[in-house]
């Protein structure tokens, strides 16, 4: 669960939002924006794209709220993920290049990566080395602060699978930052 | 059983989050220590990053859009029924047709209420009676309808009893049958439900007798015999009604009048 709204508060907001309570819809919109923004931030390079995509996801969530069933966060991130896939697909079609052909920015590599100063930009570049699920684990657990069971619920995986993804994601990032070659993908 | 490295890493991350010193724990997992240490360092660096914060103006602009969208949805819901008709002329025509047909049917039934045998609307009146009867399911309701129908047939017959006019024997039979059926249904009811209906059918029966006596005096030879038969049947019904009115009477000759002898609805 995010740190700003408890699980019960979120359930109450969703219930009231479904009943067209304006105050609840406003709070829910802000909640979705702040969480999806962090999710998008590490996935797209341009800040304008981050805002546009986040805004679209918020509107989709509000529009489809009455049909929402089950875990709200899982549903919200599923919408965000689908929108992101759609964004990359369209962009690849426009520029007539595949996703794999998008050039990755290289960092100045150091033998002792721990001495590097980690920035959000560096992390974003490092995350390009990861698989989709590994990226989501890093964002949901390390950036958003969700517990293992909540991440598992959102991803639709077991807690054990989340631990494996977490280990592999960190190892891949470490290899990338220490310049030891390409990351392992599961 | 040796713990998996991903479980150990997860436990160490939890310890770091709780502010514990993980040095000792790392030594416990000597085989993995070299691999786990840099991962924990990396985790601390990522965890140390501040969460990206969106621009407040962009957030509020999106909130306003979401509110407008929600308002639009509510309005759309309010006008959804109207929209069905606006965007579906076929449905409008069908609804209008059904309403018109129903109105026409109701008007025709109302107009037919005072019709007499031979009128164009008289068959409508009889069909409406059949429908009303078939839609009535309780015994008291059926008995009440037979009384009403017997009363109607009596009034209709009264309009046709004129010197020189031939008798409508079908109408006469209908009148007697309705009275007989009314008595038969009333006999099946308990005393409380039956009392009022007995009084009504008795009044109807007296009117019928008076009408038939009067008609017989002015009737020609062939009709006079029919009227005499009808009067006899009517008197039998009177006896039945008297028995029902005085169930403790000493006259034991009363037999049930219930079994209908001619067609019923």
Domain match, A72 and A6 both: yes
- Provide the residue range defining the domain that includes A164: 108-186
Question: Are A83 and A151 part of one and the same domain?
Answer: no
Tell me the per-residue pLDDT of B157-172, one tens digit each, with 9 for 90 and over: 888 777 667 778 888 8
Q: What radius of gyration do chain A's Cα atoms show?
A: 18
Which among A75, A96, A117 is the end of a domain? A96
Count of Cβ atoms closer than 10 Å to residue A17 Cβ = 25
The answer on A18 and A76 residing in a single domain is: yes
Residue A70 lies in a domain: yes
- pLDDT tens digits along B175-227: 999 999 999 988 888 777 788 899 999 999 999 999 999 888 877 777 888 88
Whether A103 maps to a domain, the answer reads: no
Q: Is residue A1 part of a domain?
A: yes
* Averaged pLDDT score across all residues of chain A: 82
Q: Are residues A10 and A35 in the same domain?
A: yes
Q: Is A26 on the interface with B (CB under 8 A)?
A: yes
| Nearest residue to A143 (alpha-carbon basis) of B14, B51, B11 | B51
Contact list in A for residue B44 (CB cut-off 8 A) is: none
**What CATH number is given to the structural domain containing A147?**
1.10.10.10
> Hey, what are B4's tokens?
């998996």
Cβ contacts of B17 on chain A, cutoff 8 Å = none
Query: Cβ(B201)–Cβ(B183) under 8 Å?
Result: yes
Q: Measured between beta carbons, which residues in chain B are less than 8 angstroms from residue A114? A: 38, 41-42, 45
DSSP state of B262: S
Question: Residues of B with CB below 8 A from A163's CB?
Answer: 6-7, 9-10
CA angle A146, A150, A156 (to 5 degrees): 130
Question: What Cα–Cα distance (Å) separates residue A120 from each residue in A173, B38, B46, B195, B226?
Answer: 13, 19, 8, 95, 112
What residue in B sits closest to A17 (Cα-Cα)? B70
Check CB contact under 8 Å for A113 and B38: yes
Give domain status of residue A38, yes or no. Answer: yes
Domain match, A112 and A73 both: no
Q: Rounded distance, CA A53 to CA A47, Å? A: 10
- Rounded CA-CA distance A64/A45 in Å is 28
Q: What contacts B192, CB < 8 A, 6 or more positions away? A: none
Query: Residue B66 and residue A22: Cβ atoms within 8 Å?
Result: no
Domain limit, last residue, from A39, A72, A96: A96
Say which residues have a Cβ less than 8 Å from residue B106's Cβ, sequence separation at least 6: none
- Of A54, A71, A96, the one marking the end of a domain is A96
Residue A102 lies in a domain: no
* Residue B84 pLDDT greater than 80, yes or no: no
Which residues, at least 6 apart from B215, have a Cβ–Cβ distance to it below 8 Å?
Answer: B161, B167, B223, B227
Q: How many domains does chain A have?
A: 2
| Planar angle of CA B51, A156, B44, nearest 5 degrees | 30
0.85 surpassed by complex ipTM: no
Identify the helix (H) or strand (E) that includes residue A123.
helix A120-127
Overall pTM > 0.80:
no
With b for 16 or more beta-carbon neighbours within 10 A and e for fewer, the A145-184 pattern comes to ebebebbbbbbebeeebbbbbbbbbbbbbbbbbbeeeebe
Residue B247 has pLDDT above 60, yes or no: yes
Backbone torsion region of residue A31, taken as left when φ is above 0, otherwise alpha when ψ lies between -120 and 50, otherwise beta = alpha
Q: State the pLDDT at residue B162.
A: 73
Using CB atoms, pick whichever of A41, A113, A163 lies closest to residue B10: A163
CA dist., res. B178 & res. B161, Å (int): 19
Q: Determine, yes or no, domain membership for A112.
A: yes
Q: What is the CATH number of the domain that holds A86?
A: 1.10.1740.10
| B86-115 pLDDT, tens digit each | 667 777 888 889 999 999 999 998 988 888
pLDDT of A177 reads: 87
**Inter-chain CB pairs, A–B, below 8 Å:** 107
Residue closest to A138 by CA, chosen among B39, B208, B127, B19: B39
**3-state percent breakdown (helix, strand, coil) of chain B, nearest 5:** 75, 0, 25
**Phi, psi dihedrals of residue B162, rounded to the nearest 5°:** -135, 145
Average confidence score pLDDT of chain B? 83
Interchain pair A33, B63: CB under 8 A = yes
Please indicate, yes or no, whether residues A69 and A2 belong to a single structural domain of this protein.
Answer: yes
Q: If pLDDT is split at 50, 70 and 90, which confidence band does B134 have? A: very high
Q: Do A53 and A117 sit in the same domain of this protein?
A: no
Q: pLDDT at position B2, please?
A: 58
In a domain, A26, yes or no: yes
Residues A71 and A154 in one domain: no
Residue A91 sits in the same domain as residue A113: no
User: Is residue A101, in this structure, part of any structural domain at all?
Assistant: no
Residues A34 and A81 in one domain: yes
What pLDDT does B21 receive? 78
Q: Please check whether residues A40 and A124 belong to one and the same domain.
A: no
Q: Are residues A152 and A180 in the same domain?
A: yes
């Amino acid at each position: 669960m995010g740190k700003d709204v408890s699980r019960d508060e979120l359930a109450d907001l969703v219930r009231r939002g479904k009943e067209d309570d304006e105050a609840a819809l406003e709070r829910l919109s802000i909640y979705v924006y702040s969480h999806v923004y962090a999710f998008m931030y590490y996935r797209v390079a341009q800040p304008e794209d981050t805002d546009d995509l986040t805004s679209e996801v918020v509107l989709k969530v509000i529009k489809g709220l009455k049909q929402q069933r089950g875990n709200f966060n899982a549903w919200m991130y599923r919408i965000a993920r689908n929108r992101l896939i759609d964004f990359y697909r369209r962009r690849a079609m426009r520029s007539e290049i595949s996703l794999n052909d998008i050039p990755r920015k290289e960092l100045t590599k150091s033998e002792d990566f721990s001495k590097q100063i980690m920035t959000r930009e560096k992390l974003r570049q490092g995350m390009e080395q990861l698989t989709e699920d590994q990226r989501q684990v890093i964002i949901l657990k390390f950036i958003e602060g969700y517990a293992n069971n909540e991440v598992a619920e959102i991803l639709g995986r077991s807690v054990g699978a989340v631990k494996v993804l977490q280990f592999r994601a960190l190892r891949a990032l470490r290899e990338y930052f220490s310049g030891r070659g390409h990351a392992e993908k599961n | 059983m040796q713990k998996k490295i991903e479980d150990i890493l997860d436990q160490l991350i939890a310890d770091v989050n709780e502010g514990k010193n993980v040095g000792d724990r790392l030594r416990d997992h000597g085989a993995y220590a070299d691999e786990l240490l840099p991962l924990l360092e990396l985790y601390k660096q990522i965890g140390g990053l501040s969460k990206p914060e969106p621009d407040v103006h962009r957030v509020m602009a999106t909130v306003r859009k979401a509110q407008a969208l929600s308002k639009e949805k509510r309005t759309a819901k309010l006008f959804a029924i109207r929209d069905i008709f606006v965007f579906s002329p076929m449905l409008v025509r069908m609804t209008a047709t059904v309403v018109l047909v129903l109105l026409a049917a109701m008007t025709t039934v109302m107009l037919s209420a005072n019709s007499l045998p031979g009128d164009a609307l008289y068959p409508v009146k009889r069909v409406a009676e059949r429908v009303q009867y078939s839609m009535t399911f309780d015994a008291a309701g059926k008995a009440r309808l037979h009384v009403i129908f017997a009363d109607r047939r009596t009034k209709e017959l009264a309009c046709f009893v004129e010197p020189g006019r031939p008798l409508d024997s079908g109408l006469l039979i209908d009148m007697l049958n309705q009275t007989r059926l009314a008595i038969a249904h009333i006999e099946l009811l308990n005393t409380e439900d039956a009392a009022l209906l007995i009084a009504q059918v008795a009044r109807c029966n007296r009117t019928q007798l008076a009408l038939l006596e009067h008609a017989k005096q002015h009737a020609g030879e062939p009709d006079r015999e029919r009227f005499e038969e009808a009067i006899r049947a009517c008197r039998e019904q009177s006896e039945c009604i008297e028995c029902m009115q005085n169930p403790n009477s000493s006259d034991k000759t009363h037999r049930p009048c219930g079994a209908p002898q001619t067609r019923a609805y």
